[in-house]
Amino acid sequence: MRILGLDIGEKRIGLAVSDELGITAQGLETLNRTEITKDLQQLIELIHAKGITKLVVGLPKNMNGSLGFQAEEVQKLVALLTGKCPLEVVYWDERLTTVAAQRTLLEGDISRKKRKKAVDRIAAVMILQGYLDRIRK
């Protein structure tokens, strides 16, 4: 059983995949968004290539816990994806994961240019690892 973690943004989608045992999350290449049909096709190809059985999707909630415009956009994309490739979906509260990912990269003394490329992947790893840690307990 492999799980795909997604950090869906307007310009990029951070990707992470679990190991076969569902213990650790590893980052994959960040998907640069172009148009919805191409984005969906790339995700479907990845799902089939990696043998994904479940999606853990970061849901960008407002600080008060409500869902805003971006959360609705994430849910629309996931609905389109699962319409073409039926999978179980778990939404994971992603509040502050991008901030934590940026802090981690800053502490690692990563250049600004490299941080921009890595932040979505690191956020996806944090989302998926948080879920994996929770289901193990």
Domain spans in the chain, listed from the N-terminal domain onward: 2-136
Q: Which CATH class is domain 2-136?
A: alpha beta
SS (H, E, C) 72-137: HHHHHHHHHHHHHCCCEEEEEECCCHHHHHHHHHHHCCCCHHHHHHHHHHHHHHHHHHHHHHHHHC
pTM of the model: 0.86
d(CA 79, CA 51): 19
Over residues 48-103, the pLDDT tens digits come to 999 999 999 999 877 787 788 888 999 999 999 999 999 999 999 886 666 566 66
Over residues 21-46, the pLDDT tens digits come to 999 999 999 999 999 999 999 999 99
